[in-house]
Amino acid sequence: MRAQIDITGRLIGAVVHLARQRAPRVVTSHPRSPSPRPIHSRTQILLFAAQSPLSSTESTSSVPMGKRAATVEHSTQSNYEAVTVTHADLDLVVDFSAKTISGTAQLKYEVKRSGCDALILDTRDLAIQEVSVDGAACQFTLASPHKALGSALSIPLPAGAGAGSQGSTRVRFATSPASTALQWLSPAQTAGGEHPYLFTQCQAIHARSLVPCQDTPGAKLTYAARVRVPEVMTALMSAVPVDEPGRTGQESGDGTRTFSFAQQVPIPSYLLALAVGQLESRELGPVSRVYSEPSMVAAGAYEFSETDAFLQAAASVAGPYVWGRYDLLLLPPSFPYGGMENPCLTFVTPTLLAGDRSLANVVAHEIAHSWTGNLVTNASWEHFWLNEGWTMWLERRILAKLYGEARYQLAASLGILRMQAAVTDWGTDHPFTALVPDLSGACHLTGRPCQSWRCGTAATSSGEEPRPLTLAPSLALPRRHRPRRRLFDHPL
Ligand SMILES: [Zn+2]
């Protein structure tokens, strides 16, 4: 995910502007600044670019890189290690007037440990209406809500369900208007101003307010879905549309249209995603399209025309692309994030529409997540640094393939500078500057301390040859902070 536009893209974009004798203006965001800091002059830009940690005299001797390394997952109440949901089959109806989604989730599960008598799922602000197991109605228990983690849904397993046994449960449910995963936009919040719009944001632990699930990056599942929406709208998900190539959905004759999807690569719950709006699309490449409201789709097709080149560069570094499709959804102007790496369908902000493709590095970043984070996933949110750290490294490798090694060196140098500035700003003993933060307390809702990914980038890049930077000894992971057990659920 990109929470803000990367300074590298803006800086390089500004240098391009300088070369074209156009007035430069670079804006950089600072984590705690009330407003962006503008850099106005050519001199300031070149001074900023010329600063290198190799020549910096700033002391980093007291920078902590983490307090703990054990894999502990605090973000879920589910028993995913004892009973694992392996597949979800979703039937969903989107109701814009009520601001709810209702439907059913048919969940296949596998028992991993004998002696377990229930499947426990995460929910938050969901109305659980009916539950059955292997076709038979059952009594379920919905616990009183935890402020951050929601209400655990306990579903009894058939007697004698030992390790290795499989089954399925069907849950009828409805979301609430208070769902933290669902962002309902009024027509006034869209570019077209005519129709409402819906998009989801499930990272870090919001999927539980969309569907009952095991809401942790430590559990993965495949899914299929059918989504009914108003007839004038298009539904998209983080999956491959089943009705390729038309993608017009199936008319129901009652003013609605149903779209079908399949995600056959196992994903963690935070990568579930849905968007519904009045959308058009343009082809970007053999496996890519850009979707947006009609008024922005041509600009999006121009801005993101390098998408296929990014995909090929990434595959040459990280291996085959396994997700089938890589589409982009350009969201309405009120979309509050830079980008989100939903599989098969990256969400991006229209603030990337610079007109000169200078901010397309955000797309390279989200493409990189197709391998780091989406395919190989951190087993707990405490080790989120592995996700974003490796992704920043791969993003820069993609850009180096296209634009040369100097691009990598510049981006890596600026990244280290930003990390050092952030650590100085927040303080060396602040939890947000820990490489492996303790999320057992108040950090549940975000689950992604803002600086751990920058520290992670430094850690994951430290073995690079040629090394972009020489890390100060204090920035290398001390032995006591090195991982003591497997962190990835697949070998890297
Ligand atoms: Zn990211």
Question: pLDDT tens digits for 206-229?
Answer: 999 999 999 999 999 999 999 999
* 148 C-alpha to ligand 1 centroid (Å): 23
CATH fold group of domain 76-180+209-278: Immunoglobulin-like (2.60.40)
- Alpha-carbon span 139 to 132, nearest angstrom: 8
**Please, which pLDDT band fits residue 455 given cuts at 50, 70 and 90?**
low
According to DSSP, the residues that pair with 91 across neighbouring strands are 104, 226
H runs (alpha helix) in 73-191? none
Give the side-chain half-sphere CA count within 13 A for 328. 37
* 174 C-alpha to ligand 1 centroid (Å): 30
pLDDT in tens, 266-321: 999 999 999 999 999 999 999 999 999 999 999 999 999 999 999 999 999 999 99
* 475 C-alpha to ligand 1 centroid (Å): 21
Predicted local confidence at residue 454, as pLDDT: 62
Predicted local confidence at residue 65, as pLDDT: 38
* 365 C-alpha to ligand 1 centroid (Å): 6
For the chain, the structural domain boundaries read: 1-50, 59-74+380-492, 76-180+209-278
Residue 365 is assigned to a ligand binding site: yes
* 325 C-alpha to ligand 1 centroid (Å): 19
Q: What is the mean pLDDT of the chain?
A: 81
* 244 C-alpha to ligand 1 centroid (Å): 28
pLDDT in tens, 396-427: 999 999 999 999 999 999 999 998 998 999 99
Peptide bond into 245 cis (omega under 30): yes
* 362 C-alpha to ligand 1 centroid (Å): 9
More confident residue, 53 or 246: 246
* 465 C-alpha to ligand 1 centroid (Å): 23
* 2 C-alpha to ligand 1 centroid (Å): 5
* Dihedral sign, Cα of residue 88, residue 94, residue 98, residue 99: positive
CATH superfamily ID and name for 59-74+380-492: Neutral Protease Domain 2 (1.10.390.10)
* 477 C-alpha to ligand 1 centroid (Å): 22
Predicted local confidence at residue 155, as pLDDT: 98
Helices 42-50 and 7-19: crossing angle, nearest 10°?
130
* 238 C-alpha to ligand 1 centroid (Å): 16
* 231 C-alpha to ligand 1 centroid (Å): 34
* 147 C-alpha to ligand 1 centroid (Å): 27
* 458 C-alpha to ligand 1 centroid (Å): 15
265 to 107, 122, 370: CA distances (angstroms):
16, 22, 11
* 153 C-alpha to ligand 1 centroid (Å): 31
* 369 C-alpha to ligand 1 centroid (Å): 7
* 389 C-alpha to ligand 1 centroid (Å): 8
Predicted local confidence at residue 463, as pLDDT: 53
Residue 57: CB partners within 8 Å, gap ≥ 6? none
Provide the token pair at 294.
């009609």
Predicted local confidence at residue 458, as pLDDT: 65
- Alpha-carbon span 89 to 87, nearest angstrom: 7
- Alpha-carbon span 109 to 171, nearest angstrom: 13
Q: Is it the case that residue 487 has pLDDT exceeding 80?
A: no
Give the side-chain half-sphere CA count within 13 A for 214. 29
* 366 C-alpha to ligand 1 centroid (Å): 6
pLDDT in tens, 35-93: 332 222 222 222 222 222 222 323 333 333 344 444 578 999 999 999 999 999 999 99
Helix (H) or strand (E) holding 131: strand 127-133
* 131 C-alpha to ligand 1 centroid (Å): 36
ipTM of the complex: 1.00
* 130 C-alpha to ligand 1 centroid (Å): 37
Q: Identify whether the C-beta of residue 302 lies closer than 8 Å to the C-beta of residue 232.
A: no
* 111 C-alpha to ligand 1 centroid (Å): 33
Residue 388 is assigned to a ligand binding site: yes
